[in-house]
Amino acid sequence: ELKVEQNPLFLSMQEGKNYTIYCNYSTTSDRLYWYRQDPGKSLESLFVLLSNGAVKQEGRLMASLDTKARLSTLHITAAVHDLSATYFCAVDPGYSGSGNTGKLIFGQGTTLQVKP
């Protein structure tokens, strides 16, 4: 059974600091997603990582994928309060090259709290 584990599960940090969220998964997959969820809201897509070594950046967030280590990281640079949210990584275990299967296995989520 595919497992996706994130750590830490809760992160409280000061504005301006850097930190990294880790996402480990237990089976081979070349497709990994990062989502953000604000309280009471739905999931917002942040990044899609499609191959080993993929790196994507958007603002203060940068995501990378190491398929050999089955590890993805989400790095936060100079955090600001607006980044406070829960971040999920998710893996598509059934990607066959003809499109995603719609079946994602999610990590537990990392709740990020950025203090002014």
Partner 1 sequence: KAGVTQTPRYLIKTRGQQVTLSCSPISGHRSVSWYQQTPGQGLQFLFEYFSETQRNKGNFPGRFSGRQFSNSRSEMNVSTLELGDSALYLCASSLGAEEKLFFGSGTQLSVL
Single residue of 11, 90, 91, 114 touching partner 1 by CB under 8 A: 90
Give the range of 18-26, 53-61, 74-82, 97-105 binding partner 1 by CB under 8 A.
97-105
Give the range of 18-26, 39-47, 56-64, 68-76 binding partner 1 by CB under 8 A.
39-47
**Minimum CB distance to partner 1, residue 28 (Å):** 18
d(CA 18, CA 20): 7
Phi/psi at 81 (nearest 5 deg)?
-55, -35
Q: What is the DSSP-derived secondary structure letter of residue 67?
A: T
Phi/psi at 91 (nearest 5 deg)?
-120, 140
Binding string, 48-87, against partner 1, x = CB under 8 A? x-x-------------------------------------
Single residue of 24, 60, 77, 94 touching partner 1 by CB under 8 A: 94
> Does residue 45 bind partner 1 (CB under 8 A)?
yes
Q: Which residue, 14 or 98, is less far from partner 1 as judged by CB?
A: 98
Find residue 11's DSSP bridge partners.
112
d(CA 78, CA 108): 24
d(CA 94, CA 70): 15
